[in-house]
Structure 1
Amino acid sequence: MSDGIVWLVDLKGWMSSVVFARGISPEELAVRLGGAPDGATEPITDREVEDLGVEWYRPGDDGDGVVRVGECGGWSFALEYWDPTGGDLLEEVSRDGVEVVRYVPIQEHPPAMVDYARDGVFLCGFGLREEIWRWGQEPDLLLPDLVAAGVLSPDGKTYLPPEDEDYQTGYRRSLGVLERRFGLSLSPAYLRDARLPAYAVRGTPRMTLDG
């Protein structure tokens, strides 16, 4: 059975992002996000990212960004940490016919965000539980899916579930739209004990484990 992505709603305290890409390898995804082609670490766990020589902020300079990359369900993925690059590079990552979905799992408010790009073009994006505000070159691309899932009215201007609905319930409904439309899946193991190669994509992290 597929793990899907709806479970991502339940992440607590993990404020990075996930970039899914279809049409390139995990290694190429890391490179398009800013990693060096030969820059992979030995496979590490999610928890071990905290032990890398990473700085949130440097005065007058970028903070450090790190990704761990892998493949699941026919999509490559990058788990983004610290000061990531995916939000700036969606068009670059999606060039040459590649599809890209990015999920930023912010809790409640400001809302979690989703973006979709294909073949070098940013097509659509919206905040979860704020789907009435959509942007991109084709902002209504996913409107039929959101209507079918009971998220929006057919004109895309009214949010249908009650305003006092728990935000996690609304997030699950909209992530389910992405899960079904694109066939996205990510095993929870990748955010527990599974080991994946990591790349530096921004700044100058040390990229070696302490100890």
Structure 2
Amino acid sequence: MSDGIQWLVGLENWMSSVVFARGISAQELALRMGGDRDKATVPITDDQVMDLGIEAYRPCEDGDGVVRVGEQGGWSFALEYGHSTGGERLEEISRDGVEAVHYVPIQEHPPATVFYSRDGVSRCGFGLGEEIWRWGEEPDLLLADLVAAQVLDPDGATLLHPEDEPYTDTYRRTLGVVERRFGLSLSPAYLREARLPAYAVRGTPDMRI
């Protein structure tokens, strides 16, 4: 059974976002996010990222950003930590026919967001719970899927979820749309005991673990 990505709604740790890419390896994803091919750690757990001495903010300097990368279900993925800005390079990540999805798991307000790029172009994006405002070169790319999932009315301008619905339920419905449309899956084990190589993508963390 697939883990899917709907469980990411409950994400409550210091990870900043998740990037998925189809068409490149996990290592190539790390490189396109700013990593150095020769400076990967041995595979480490989520808890061990704390041992890299990450400083998220430094006065007048870049904060530290790290990603742990792996592959599942035909997609490579990167878990971002600290002040990683790799996910902001989605167009670069998706060049040469690659597809990329960026999920930023902010809770409630401002909302979590989903961005999709393909072949170097930002295709669509929206906030979860705010799907009436969509952007990108193809803002309505997922409209039919959102309508079918009863997230939006067919006009794409009316939200169907009740105003008093918990944001976790609202987010889960939209993440289900993204999960099914792109076939995304991520095991919760990657944020527990599973080990993945880590790359520095910003600042100067200590990667000698």
TM-score normalised according to structure 1 size: 0.97
Backbone CA RMSD of aligned residues = 0.9
- Distance in 2, matches of 1:188 and 1:9, equals 12
Relative to structure 2, which stretch is displaced further, 119-128 or 80-89? 80-89
- Which residue matches 1:174? 174
Residues 39-97 of structure 1: per-residue CA shift (max 9 Å, x gap): 21011000111111211111112211100000000000000001112332000000000
- Distance in 2, matches of 1:108 and 1:13, equals 15
- Distance in 2, matches of 1:106 and 1:23, equals 27
- Which residue matches 2:140? 140
TM-score normalised according to structure 2 size: 0.97
- Distance in 2, matches of 1:128 and 1:76, equals 23
Q: CA deviation at 1:29?
A: 0.2
Q: Does 1:187 align with 2:190?
A: no
Q: CA deviation at 1:15?
A: 4.4
- Distance in 1, matches of 2:206 and 2:12, equals 27
Q: CA deviation at 1:107?
A: 1.0
Q: Determine what percentage of the aligned residue pairs are the same residue.
A: 76
- Which residue matches 2:5? 5
For the residue of structure 2 that corresponds to 1:19, the secondary structure is: strand
Tell me the amino acid that sits aligned with residue 62 of structure 1. Answer: D
Residues 121-155 of structure 1: per-residue CA shift (max 9 Å, x gap): 00111000011111111111111100000001111
- Distance in 2, matches of 1:86 and 1:127, equals 19
Tell me which stretches of 4 or more aligned residues in structure 1 moved more than 4 Å.
none
Q: Does 1:33 align with 2:33?
A: yes
- Which residue matches 2:157? 157
- Distance in 2, matches of 1:54 and 1:14, equals 11
- Distance in 2, matches of 1:51 and 1:155, equals 50
For the residue of structure 2 that corresponds to 1:199, the secondary structure is: strand
Ranges in structure 2 where 5+ consecutive residues have no aligned partner: none
